[in-house]
Chain A
Amino acid sequence: VQLVESGGGLVQPGGSLRLSCAASGFTFSSYSMIWVRQAPGKGLEWISYINRSGSTIYYADSVKGRFTISRDNAKDSLYLQIDSLRDEDTAVYYCARERWGDYWGQGTQVTVSS
């Protein structure tokens, strides 16, 4: 099982990014997926969940209306569209398999700064 995040970077407040998570080593379409983030020196924060088909989606209140989770089972990929970025969105963003996170990627850094 391997999960590889990409798409992070430095962005100005109010900007947008699209994070990707490429999955391999398992049948991606059979598993739900989550995004979790970790601000510098802080703990873990669950931010979003998507079920196997993409028909059920949940968000943390802190990102609802600004972040959009999606998946492409044909491409074994998970995505997180992040809009209207704020300073407090600066964090390492991890994708993980299943709601209980049995496998995690290495993370991608998102830095929001002017």
Chain B
Amino acid sequence: DIQMTQSPSSLSASVGDRVTITCRASQSISSYLNWFQQKPGKAPKVLIYAASSLQSGVPSRFSGSGSGTDFTLTINSLQPEDLATYYCQQIFTLPWTFGQGTKVEIK
């Protein structure tokens, strides 16, 4: 199975900060990488698909980059409503695996 490793596991940042979350795959997954946001008590919501494509309706402060094994989710100008856990997921090879999550807190 492809292992997805996110870092950091958690972070605390202030409103307006730029936040970066990284995701590393144990082998190349091309650009078959999605990013999800899960707010407390809610279902996950896709933010980014195919590594860098912004899902319709998602604020433009969210962006994704990378290919192969190393990927990044960036939140420009963190907002209070961005309090959530963020997950990366590869859909290159079965089983489709998720990272362990990055919990983002607001200072």
Whether the Cβ atoms of A44 and B34 lie closer than 8 Å is no
Q: Are A43 and B43 in contact (CB under 8 A)?
A: no
How many residue pairs, one in A and one in B, have C-beta atoms under 8 Å apart?
Answer: 48
Is A101 a contact of B36 with CB atoms below 8 Å? yes
**Residues of A contacting B: mostly:** loop
Give the secondary structure class of B's interface: loop
Q: Which of A71-79, A81-89, A102-110 contacts B (4 or more CB under 8 A)?
A: A102-110
Contact A61 B44 (CB under 8 A): no
Pairs across A and B, CB under 8 Å, 6 listed: A44-B36, A44-B98, A49-B96, A60-B95, A100-B89, A101-B46
Chain A residue at minimal CB-CB distance from B99: A43
Given contacts A43-B100, A46-B98, A60-B95, contact A100 B43 (CB under 8 A): no
B43 CB contact (under 8 Å) in A45, A46, A102, A106: A106
Q: Which residue of B lies closest to A104 (CB)?
A: B43
B64 within 8 A of A: no
Closest 3 CB pairs of A and B: A104-B43, A46-B96, A44-B98
Q: Is A94 an interface residue (CB 8 A)?
A: yes
